[in-house]
Structure formats: structure tokens, C-alpha cells
Amino acid sequence: MAVFCFTAWQVLILPGLLTLLPMKYKLLGRSGLKVSELCLGTMGFGTEGGWGADAAASFTIMEKFAEAGGNFLDTANIYKLGTSEKIIGEFISSRDRDFFVIATKYSLLDNTTNPNASGNNRKNMMRSVEASLKRLQTDFIDVLYLHIWDDLTPIDEVLRGLDDLIRQGKVNYAAISDTPAWVVAKGNTMAELMGWSQFIALQVEYSLLSRTPEHTRHLRIHEGHCTYLLDEERPLLTPNLVRATTVVGTAEECIEQIRRLEAAGVTQLVVLPGLGHQEAYAERFARQIIDRY
């Protein structure tokens, strides 16, 4: 399911579009969370950097959006140095908090006090969430996104931290942004096996100019595992985006399974060497699959 994110200025410029067409609600990813099919991006809430909407204009934008039935607000700890979250917090403090679905993000540097004030690590995650809760003036975040993959933190550390926040009631759902598909597939497979909360949504650049999500076909070697992504003609912004199927066996067995699964429409596979293969042989094993397939 795709949810389209509009900027604040588009809400002001195209108010007629929001009032003439009834807002529809869709389930976010594989969750039961109902969100408006238009999500309001709030990166421009605040005037830091010499541009953006001040608090009064931001309130007007959110009022128009809510009046049209919009309930999905997207922000981040780093947007306007935290001002975006503060404005949203002030807005919802006098309104029905449960009507709104607030998504925010962590990862990017929002202060220079210590070396762990950025990144996907658990320490930064917990610190960032506590600060976002204060700025948003709320007890919980509906959707918490990992903002961008740092290529450093183990995915299990990320998932366990997000699961702990969900169990604590500080976050309702986990999501991920700007991260390679093979990392998302590996993470959700691990979460399913461990009984942790899975990513319900992925936020990536997708537009008329950027069609990269539609054209993925490569094999990535990481920690002895091979992730094989199959082409598909439709965008990857579908439920299949976060479904992974594991293929285990010899190169010949994997090729046979890959062909069968590809015909069935599976778009993401985690290919593991059969028993007896050591991690040092993972790349050679993966290359055999590529060459023969």
C-alpha cells in the first residue's frame, strides 16, 4: 500500500483538492493502523535556515489538512532542529491526540554533545525518542522510523531496541526509511523468527524522476548471507516489499527454488549456503548462483 506524502506548501496551494475529494483511509503496510492516503510532510515547519512556515502558518496548514480528514503527520527529530516536532506538539496539545497518527524519525545528528548523538545505535535511539516525546508533548509516538541506514549498527540491535520501545508503550509501530531492501528483508525475517515487532512501512524516494525501487536486481553479500532481489514491473511500495523468503541448499537447488518463487511473484529472497559451507565461501557460492542463473 502506498501513502503519498504532501508538503506543507502543497496543502496551502491546493486547498480545493482536499475539500472537493473525500479523504480515504488505508491500512499502513501490514499493520491494522488506519491512515489517510495523503500524509502531511512537515519538514518545513519552522523558519530555521531562513525558510519555512512559522508556527501560525503551520497551524493553518494542519487545520486545513485535518478538516479534510487527514490524520497522518510525518516529521523527524532533525526537521528544523526540532522545531517541526515542537509545532506539532503545540498543535495537538489542545486537540484530540488519538485522531492523529504521528510519525517521527531518529538517526540523524540533532546535537553535538557526544559521539553517540547520531546513528542507528540503541543509545541514540532511546535518547532521541525521549527528546521527541517531550517536543511532541505526547506519551507515545505512533510510528517511529529509522531515518537512514548508517551501515554500522547490526540490524538485530535496531530491531530489539524498537521492540523494547513498543513493549514500553512509547512507540506503537516500527518503520524504516532510506535503507537497502536487503537490510529490510533480513531485519523482518529476523524479527519474525525472534518474535519481535516487524517494520510495517518503508519510506524511500519514489517519483516520476526516481524509479529506482522498480528496478532492483542484484545480489549483495553481507555477513556470509546473500540477498537476491528480483525485478518486478510494479513499484516495490507494496506488501511484498517487506516479505522475505529464505532459500537454502546447494547452488543448483537454490536456482531451482529461485525460478519457482520468481514465477510466483516473490520479490525478495535471502539465499543461504547449504550445510557445510563456511562463511569464507559465501561469496563464491553466491557467484555460482549468479553465473548459472
Q: Which ranges of the chain would DSSP assign to H, the alpha helix?
A: 8-13, 15-20, 55-67, 83-92, 122-136, 155-168, 181-194, 251-263, 282-292
d(CA 94, CA 111): 29
Residue 219 falls within a domain, yes or no?
Answer: yes
What is the pTM for the complete model shown?
0.73
The torsion angle over the Cα atoms of residues 92, 110, 53 and 173, rounded to 10 degrees, is -40
Among 56-65, 123-132, 256-265, the range scoring the smallest mean pLDDT is: 256-265
Let me know whether 199 and 220 are in one domain. Answer: no
Please indicate, yes or no, whether residues 277 and 252 belong to a single structural domain of this protein. yes
Residue 122 scores a pLDDT above 80: yes
Task: Please say if the pLDDT value at position 51 is more than 70.
Answer: yes
- As a whole number, mean pLDDT of residues 36-59 equals 95
CA distances from 245 to 25, 187, 269, 270, 290 (A): 29, 12, 5, 6, 18
Of 115-119, 234-238, 255-259, which gets the smallest average pLDDT? 234-238
* Domain ranges, residue 43: 4-204
Kindly report which listed range (26-35, 88-97, 199-208) carries the lowest average pLDDT score.
Answer: 199-208
Q: 125 and 83 in contact (C-beta within 8 Å)? A: no
Q: Is residue 82 located within the same domain as residue 183?
A: yes
Residue 242, pLDDT score: 35
Domain ends where: 157, 181, 204?
204
Q: What gap in Å lies between CA 227 and CA 215, rounded to an integer?
A: 15
Number of structural domains (the chain) is 2
Nearest-angstrom CA–CA distance, 102 and 10: 19
State whether 156 and 41 are in the same domain: yes
Residues 25 and 166 in one domain: yes
CA separation for the pair 142, 24 (Å, rounded)? 19
Does one domain contain both 27 and 123? yes
- What is the pLDDT, as a whole number, of residue 111? 85
End residue of a domain, out of 159, 179, 204 = 204
Share of the chain above pLDDT 70, in %: 66
Place of cell 525478495: 268
pLDDT by residue (tens digit) across 102-116?
999 999 998 888 999
Q: Mean pLDDT highest for which of 72-76, 176-180, 255-259, 267-271?
A: 72-76
Residues 239 and 286 in one domain: yes
Other residues' Cβ atoms within 10 Å of the Cβ of residue 28: 22
Residue 22 has a pLDDT of: 82
Q: Is residue 209 part of a domain?
A: no
Q: Looking at the structure, do residues 48 and 120 belong to the same domain, yes or no?
A: yes
Instruction: Work out the percent of the chain whose per-residue pLDDT is above 90.
Output: 55
Q: Which residues are catalytic?
A: 79
Whether residues 49 and 99 share a domain: the answer is yes
Q: Are strands 34-36 and 38-41 parallel, antiparallel or unpaired?
A: unpaired
Q: How high is the pLDDT of residue 266?
A: 60
Tell me which of 140, 171, 204 is where a domain ends: 204
Read off the pLDDT of residues 200-222 as tens digits, 9 standing for 90 and up.
999 988 777 776 666 544 444 34
Render pLDDT for 6-20 as a digit per residue (tens, 0 to 9): 555 455 545 555 555
* 92-101, 128-137, 225-234, 247-256, range with the lowest pLDDT: 225-234
Q: Are both 173 and 226 inside the same structural domain?
A: no
Distance CA 135, CA 52 (A): 18
Radius of gyration of the chain (CA): 21
* Domain co-membership, 135 together with 235: no
Q: Side chain identity at 222, as an amino acid letter?
A: H
Q: Which CATH number does the domain housing residue 113 bear? A: 3.20.20.100
In a domain, 186, yes or no: yes
Query: CA-to-CA distance for 95 and 87, rounded, in angstroms?
Result: 13
The pLDDT value recorded for residue 201 is 93
Map grid coordinates 497551524 to a residue.
59
Q: Quick one: pLDDT at residue 280? A: 44
